[in-house]
């Protein structure tokens, strides 16, 4: 019985350990490859978003839950917790191409601006500076 359990553990480690190492190396490469990061940054930067908010949703009732709105064209926009409390159905959203900022035109006349691509931009700049 003890021999079979030792064999099972050895086989488990022989199979699992290389898979975990490979997965770590793959994820590390994806996060640190400047071409992949640049492509993702430019993809979001060149995205154009416009529309009216038709629905608000959140993935739970805890502080880190994702909050997002659906536009009239059923496009989903992820937003900050602070902005989620300010936005109502009927507000307008606009993000032009070649811009990182997204504009929220509230029905009460206020305009909220959020940096929609901050994470990808900072990651790209960090990798770009690291390569120098």
The number of distinct structural domains making up the chain is: 2
pLDDT tens sequence across 101-123: 999 999 999 999 999 999 989 98
CA-CA distance, 67 to 111, in Å (whole number)?
19
Neighbours of 47 (CB within 10 A): 15
Identify whether the C-beta of residue 46 lies closer than 8 Å to the C-beta of residue 98: yes
Residues 68, 95, single domain; the answer is yes
pLDDT tens sequence across 13-28: 788 878 888 877 777 6
CATH number of domain containing 95: 2.40.50
Residues 51, 28, single domain; the answer is no
**Does residue 90 lie within any of the structural domains?**
yes
Report in angstroms the alpha-carbon separations of 52 from 24, 73, 103, 111, 117. Answer: 41, 8, 12, 14, 21
pTM for this prediction = 0.72
Residues 88, 118, single domain; the answer is yes
Residues 121, 85, single domain; the answer is yes
* Domain coverage including residue 99: 42-128
């Amino acid at each position: 019985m003890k021999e079979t359990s030792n064999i099972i553990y050895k086989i488990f480690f022989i199979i699992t350990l290389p898979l975990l190492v490979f997965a770590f190396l793959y994820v590390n490469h994806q996060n640190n490859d400047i071409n992949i990061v640049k492509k993702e940054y430019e993809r979001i930067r060149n995205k154009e978003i416009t529309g009216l908010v038709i629905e608000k949703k959140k993935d739970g009732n805890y502080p880190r839950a994702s909050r997002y709105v659906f536009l009239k064209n059923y496009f989903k926009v992820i937003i900050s917790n602070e902005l989620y409390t300010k936005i109502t159905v009927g507000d307008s959203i606009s993000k032009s191409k070649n811009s990182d900022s997204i504009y929220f035109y509230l029905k009460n006349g206020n305009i909220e601006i959020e940096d929609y691509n901050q994470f990808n931009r900072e990651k790209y700049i960090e990798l770009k500076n690291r390569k120098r």
